[in-house]
Amino acid sequence: MATHVRPMLLCFAVSVLFGPVIVVGGEPASFDTLATEYKQDSRPLLGRFCLECHSSEKKEGELDLQRFATLAEIRRGTKVWLKVAAMLDNGEMPPEDAEQPSPEQRKKLRGWVERYLHAEALARAGDPGPVVLRRLNNAEYTYTIRDLTGVELDPTREFPIDGAAGEGFTNTGDALVMSPALSRKYLHAGKEIARHAVLLPDGFRSSPYATRREWTDEILAQIRRLYGEFVESVDLGNGLAVGYINGHVDTRLGHAGRLPLEKYFAATLAERDAVTTGGKTIEAVARECGLNARYLGTLWSSLTGLEPSILLEGLRARWRGAKPQDAAVLAADVTTWQRGLWSFNPIGLRGRKGSRSQWLEPVNPMVTKQELRFKIPATKDGERPKEFVISLVATDAGDGNEHDFVVWRQPRLVAEGKPDILLRDWVSADGKAIDAASVCVRAPSVITIRIPADLAGRELVTAASLEPKTAGEGSLQVDVVAGTPETKTGLLPSEVTVKFSQVTQVFSDHRNVSISRPIIVAEKSAARAAFESAMNAHRSLFPAALCYTQIVPVDELHTTTLFYREDGHLARLMLDDAQKSRLNRLWQELRFVSQSALIRVDVLDPHFPNKLPDCGMKFAPSF
């Protein structure tokens, strides 16, 4: 501050002396004009009334005006002319016993001094004058460090308080000295600031924290916040809600970043007419509703599109007749189909023999033959025995029934230690016999079987497939249900269940996938290709999760995966190039800062010293 005090005081002094003239005056006089006026008018007046006392020889009051022969010499002694102006205003010059100038002469001299000081003040504006070498005061140093690092650090908390000096300012140069003790404190402060430097792949940044664990958590929080801008994080728990069954209840699937489908459907329903007529744009609707414009536009195009899709056509029809309050129903329809098109896997031991490579994995619920079992409930003690009605249900898969001929192969009742009872002759439906134990009917159809009371406790077993000669391009779904349901047409949602065998040590190698209501189609048929295309379109538009927001699979029974990234669907459906770049950068920083690749090897070495080849563990660089 000391470097700026002198010009400020000069301007202040001039403003006090000359009041509003300096502040509001017009253009300052040029120095050439001032030099001419000084030579012609002001210097003769000084010689007549002032130099008798203030010559170079006498210099009364330490004031020598004789030395100012030219304007250049005056400009080197501006402070003297501040004193001259003050003495003229106070009537101190010339003294009373000396010859006095006339009022006109005094006014002319005073006016010239005023114009010169005004011009000099403007010419020197911004000139700090002599600069005193000093240190930053505590506040300046703190704010400088915060500006440089971008972090709210307090490096001067152990520094002595700055003195105010004689001027009352804590940034006066003469008072900001450096002692040996203060030098040591600056050194310690620098070391503390350096502890907050986070090394990055291509440089460094500063952090409010000073440990690797805290830096890692900081980056994790940034990634999760970015995910949270687009998805709703849902805890999948032990996985039962998404068809995951594990023998060990301590293994969980973590948190999934899911599409807020109800919000998106609600927006399309509420603004359907406005967007259709051009009254609003998709971008405007997304902005008003706080939704992602990119995904909202994709959803709108799919709902209003004309591309044939067995799965989406039903959704489109329901959407066209729905109201905004029906958004939850539409979202539930999509979620139901997600259960049949996706499966989730644990990823804590990813890379181990028998593990899956992805957390979210697509599933095709299509088969060429389906085996079905139904347990006939046994008669309970005290209950009256009665017959049990069971039905073999076959439906077309929503694409017509021209080729939909189903063969129920060897429907029978089985029981341990007893002979099988074939049921072909028990069925009550129009069909034809295929062999001594099988029957063929056209879907949609319901075959009702009445099980006598004395056969309670047995299990009905059968298999269903397309009739090979006439149904090569057919498609159908089958089920075994209790009672006699109505005959229905149309595609029903499938449901995938993934079951692992009982875990006895760390991880089960055996994984069984079962599908309820799969679609029965022939291999390499046109019907199969159509369904595959429709399922791919549904999966592309409605992934069961956009990203794995858990990132750290700590909920699993045992994990060697420190960080797991799966956000391809989020990037594909919602992120622009800048957001993708930011996300990739954060993940790069996370792996670099956390040293996850090195830590994973260090963790595995003591746990699996000689067993890595046996357990089939595969290692790959994490980045």
pTM of this structure: 0.71
Three-state secondary-structure class, residue 410: strand
Those residues of the chain that have pLDDT short of 70 are 1-26, 127-129, 165-166, 238-252, 349-355, 425-436, 500-511, 555-560, 597-623
Which residues does 601 contact at the CB level (< 8 Å), separation at least 6? Answer: 619
Going by DSSP bridges, is the β-strand pair 244-245/495-500 parallel, antiparallel, or unpaired?
Answer: parallel
What is the predicted pLDDT for the residue at 478? 92
Predicted pLDDT of residue 558: 60
In order of their start, the domains of the chain are 2-123 (no CATH), 138-194 (no CATH), 232-346+529-615 (no CATH), 366-493 (2.60.120)
pLDDT value, residue 7? 40
pLDDT value at position 530? 92
Q: Residue 423: what pLDDT?
A: 83
pLDDT for residue 555? 57
Taking CA atoms, 371 is separated from 12, 243, 409, 518, 525, in Å, by: 99, 19, 9, 11, 21
Report pLDDT for 104: 87
**Bridging pattern class, strands 432-433 and 495-500:** unpaired
- Before 95, cis peptide (omega within 30)? no
User: How many Å separate Cα 469 from the centre of its chain?
Assistant: 55
So what's the pLDDT on residue 504?
A: 45
Read off the pLDDT of residues 106-117 as tens digits, 9 standing for 90 and up: 888 888 988 888
Burial class (CB within 10 angstroms; exposed 0-12, middle 13-18, buried 19+) of 390: buried
Phi-psi region of 213 (alpha: psi -120 to 50; beta: other; left: phi over 0): alpha
Alpha carbon distance 424, 408 (integer Å): 9
